[in-house]
Amino acid sequence: MATGRAFRVWVPEVWDIVTLEPGADWTVARLKSEALTAALGRTPDASLYEVKFRGGPVDDAQTLESLNAPGGSGFIVLRSQRRPVR
């Protein structure tokens, strides 16, 4: 069941912003998985990525409800380990 709140999730790896309307019981891990699948067009190993909200990393086990994220909030999903640029 959707909460009626939409969240913007930026996936810098592909420079894409995905808008999701999660259910009230969604965890950060599910938000991450759904955003990666939508942005990349495939389901990558989500354990290689982390989610940041309001500038800091958040635990995958947290629910979106526990973060008190208002509708329209932005999240960032990026690789946990940065890859070197050559």
The side-by-side arrangement of strands in the sheet containing 49-53 is 16-20, 7-11, 74-79, 49-53, 56-58
The CATH code of the domain at 7-79 is 3.10.20.90
> Considering only 27-31, 37-41, 81-85, which range has the smallest mean pLDDT?
81-85
The one-character DSSP state at 41 is S
pLDDT-derived band at 3 (thresholds 50, 70, 90) equals low
Of the candidates 57, 35, 53, the one whose C-alpha atom is nearest the C-alpha of residue 44 is 35
Percentage above 70 pLDDT, the chain: 90
The one-character DSSP state at 62 is S
Q: Note the pLDDT of residue 83.
A: 64
